[in-house]
């Protein structure tokens, strides 16, 4: 995120008044999980959920005043492939990586950084 902001500040005229999409890693939950197990040396338990069920539960929780249901809706939008709530910007939008000098990374590099912090 910091590198993208620096790129915006260095290119104010080219980046003004527009949405900018940046992606450093394109991955799946299974790839993240696999990398996490390898990098941490620990086995993890997986609970598979269906996006449509997560959306329904999240909406129901929010409608009943339990706003922690928003976390389920955010997860569904991040990982689901449901029309209208997908956030697969690297496929659906033109990325600004080149203009902002933001390089692509890897799941393993990112996981190593996360586990170090």
Angle between helices 69-79 and 51-63 (to 10 degrees): 150
pLDDT in tens, 16-59: 999 999 988 888 888 988 999 998 899 989 888 888 899 999 99
Q: Which two tokens stand for residue 60?
A: 């129901």
| Average of per-residue pLDDT values in the chain | 88
CA distance 57 to 45: 22
pTM of the model: 0.60
Q: What pLDDT does 28 receive?
A: 82
CA distance 101 to 83: 31
CA distance 10 to 28: 32
CA distance 115 to 88: 25
């Amino acid at each position: 995120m910091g590198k993208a902001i620096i790129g915006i500040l260095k290119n104010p005229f080219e980046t003004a008044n527009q949405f900018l999409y940046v992606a450093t890693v394109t991955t799946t939950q299974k790839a993240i999980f696999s990398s996490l197990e390898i990098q941490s040396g620990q086995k993890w338990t997986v609970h598979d959920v269906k996006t449509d069920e997560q959306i329904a539960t999240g909406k129901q929780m929010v409608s009943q005043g339990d706003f922690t249901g928003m976390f389920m809706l955010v997860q569904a939008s991040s990982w689901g492939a449901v029309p209208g709530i997908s956030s697969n910007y690297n496929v659906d939008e033109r990325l600004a990586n080149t203009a902002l000098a933001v390089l692509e990374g890897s799941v393993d590099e990112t996981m190593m950084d996360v586990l170090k912090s």
